[in-house]
Structures are given as C-alpha cells and as structure tokens.
A and B are shown apart, each in its own frame.
Chain A
C-alpha cells in the first residue's frame, strides 16, 4: 500500500502538468490577431509552410529537443510556427501514437504530407533526424577515439549507468498504472476527490489526452475495473518474461500477445458494459 502511494505521488505531477497544458491550449479563449491564427477553427491557419520552412522548422526542433522531443514539438509546431491549432496537434498525436514508429517522427511526416505532399514529408523528416544524426555520430567518433583512456572509460560508465536509470524510470511510469493495487488506490482517491470538488476530472484515453511518448500505457487507467488492470498486468508480465528471459523474437511475441490483449479487452469491456 505504501509503495502504491509513493508511485501514485510520483506520477501525479506529470499527469497534472499534462492536463494543465491540454486545457490551457485547447480552450478557445485566446484573442486572435487579424488574419493570423484562429484556434477555434479546425482548418489550417494562415499561410501553409513551404518545404524549406518545414525542413528548417524540424531541423530546429531536432537540435533543441534534449530529453524527449514531445514537449518541444508542441511549442515549435503550435505556438511558434502555428502550423497546427492545439486541437489539431492533439488529434494528430493520437494518430501518431497509434501507428508504428516514433511519435515525433510520424508527426513530422504527417505535417509535411499535409502541407506539401511527399516532398514536404521528406523535407520534414530529413530535417528532424539530420541534426541529431550528425551529433550522435560525432559523439560516437569521440568515444571510439578515446575509449581506451581510463578517464573516458569511467565517464562513459557513469553516463551509461545514468542513461539506464532514465530508462528504468520510464519503465516504472509505464508499468505502474497496470498494477491492480495501485489502480484501486487511485480510484478510491479519485472518488474521494470527486465528492469533494464535484467537477475535478482527469483526462483519460490517449485519444483525447496527448500522453507523452512513453505513457501510452496510461490509457489503461481510464476507469477500468480491477480485473482488467489485472489482465493488463499479466499481459505486460508475459511480454516482459518472453523478451527479457526467453529472448523470444519480438515479431513472435507481438503476434501472440497483441491478439490475446485485444481479445481480453473486448471480452472484459463487453462484460463491464452489461448491467
């Protein structure tokens, strides 16, 4: 119970922050300067970018996005360049999370495609990955030249350990919502909160809330009964064991687990709907 509380406390700021961002920018209250941008309209604002502008925009985005590209992407695409309205951004992110491939990579393709067709898509994705590719290779060259130096060795050991820690943190954030105990505690807490405040609601479901790249699993949390979180946790565990211990090829693991998971979701949701 105590770990559950700690986990829930750890996760809350992220969700709250996200919610604040969503509500802040999706609310169509901003006054619009004439002829530039209409957040309440779903059609594209002002002049569509050229392929060159798409390239430069995503090049900048690639170069500034340390520690995950999503928060930066929002600022560049919606606020600075105004290529998409806040609503459009959220909707497009929903699509990109649904498809294979990195969210921001897919988004660059989708935005480029939308304004300038295939040329635009190419300009956007090449812009996005060109800068980081050059930087990462430069880092690689420095590493290979100096890896026999004992200080460099120690520095990289520390860096690698820290990078592993960040990945562990990400895994905790994605797995925590699947733990039944945590879920029950969270539900109780939410119910109490609802009674007190009446209208406090968290956004749920990746369809309407832009989850960060890693938190797509947060969608499971939406008012699910404990059985379903239990099943979800079992499926996650099966995937973990298959990949980490038995080293089953990914394609085989997914070919088994995805249909099983879909079947479980359909069955449990159908049962949940019955009175």
Chain B
C-alpha cells in the first residue's frame, strides 16, 4: 500500500511540473505510466475514467483525482491530489514574486511561443490515445467523429454532446 502511494506521489508530482499548456498534454504519459508501467488498470478503464472526469464539472484534469481514488481509495485520492496540484502551485507562488520584474522581458514571449507547438503535438497525441482507448465499436467511432465535428464547427455546449453520445450509446447499436 505504502509502495503504491509512493508511486502515485512520484508519478503525479513529476507530471505536475511537466504540464505546460494545460492538463491535456500529460494524458499520454499518465496513461503510459498507469497502464503500461504500473499495471494499475487497463487501457479501456483509463478511457472510462477520462470520460467520467469529462462529465464532471471543475478544472481540466479531474481524471487525476479519479485515478488516485481508483488505485488506492481515499488515501490515494489525497496523495494524488497533493502530488498533482502541490508542485505546480509552489511554482506559481514563487513566480508571483518575480513576475513583475520579468513580465516585459522578450525571453518570456520567446519561451511561450516556443512551448506552443510542443503543446500542440502533445494534445494531438492525447487525442489519438484517448480515441484508441474509448472507441470499441463502429458506433463509437461515429460518435467520436460527430462530437469532434460539432465541437469544432458549432458552439454547442460540450455537456450536450456528452449527453447525446451517452444516449446513442445506450441504444447499444454498433457497440460490442
């Protein structure tokens, strides 16, 4: 148990400091560690947890909390949350102190512009891996494509798309 908690703490504190450009960039690494390295769950379970977290309100990466709870109960939840939100928050606190001194320096813009394409590649990788984890039947592929299309082309609220996907899934057509 202690070993599991230590592993959770080590993994998520590392991810906390690597998550530039919002939470979705670290999903593939999270999946790799949780599924392939630690064998805490299957790829499909990871996809299901991601879906649950998407359906809940709150900041982007509630899947982190859910993984901690799934792997080691309430203790796991606490350790994981602390590891995921602690280190980046400490960085934020420290940065608040030096921010005013550096905010107009050109290197800040350069670093930010340089991080953007890296972030884009990572988010694309996240999307591919989550699609692989979630799409089991032909209907699932259609739902994914439809939601992706609707979310890029229209301004429908994402919750409606999740609800529509669930209802279509409930019909059981094209889902093994």
Residues of A within 8 A of B (CB): 10-11, 13, 62-69, 91, 94-106, 109-110, 113-114, 118, 121, 125, 128-129, 131-133, 135-137, 139-140, 143, 147, 150-151, 154-175, 178, 205-207, 213-214, 216-220, 231-233, 235-240, 243-244, 247, 249-251, 253-254, 257-258, 261-262, 264-266, 269
Contacts and interface: CB of A to CB of B under 8 A. Distances in A.
B124 interface: yes
Contacts of A132: 56-59, 62, 65
A13 B152 CA distance: 10
Contacts of B147: 161-162, 164-166, 168-169
Interface of B: 14-24, 26, 28-29, 32, 36, 47-62, 65-66, 69-70, 77, 81, 85, 87-89, 91-93, 95-96, 99, 103, 108-131, 133-137, 139-141, 143-153, 155, 157-159, 161-162, 164-172, 175
Contact of B18 (A109, A214, A237, A254): A254
Given A163-B130, A213-B22, 5 more contacts: A133-B65, A135-B57, A158-B170, A217-B119, A261-B114
Contacts of A125: 85, 89
Contacts of A169: 147-152
Contact of B144 (A147, A168, A264): A168
B89 A175 contact: no
A167 B106 CA distance: 32
30 contacts: A65-B59, A66-B159, A67-B157, A96-B92, A109-B93, A113-B92, A129-B81, A129-B85, A131-B58, A132-B62, A133-B77, A154-B169, A156-B48, A157-B175, A158-B143, A158-B168, A158-B170, A159-B52, A164-B133, A165-B148, A167-B24, A167-B123, A172-B148, A231-B117, A236-B121, A239-B121, A243-B28, A250-B15, A261-B117, A265-B110
B49 to A, nearest CB: 7
Contact of A106 (B29, B88, B123, B161): B88
A161 B88 CA distance: 30
Contact of A100 (B69, B70, B88, B130): B88
B152 A154 contact: no
A161 B158 contact: no
Given A121-B89, A132-B62, A165-B148, A171 B123 contact: yes
Contacts of A262: 110-111, 114
Contacts of B66: 136-137, 140
B84 to A, nearest CB: 8
A199 to B, nearest CB: 24
A162 B152 contact: no
Nearest to A221: B116
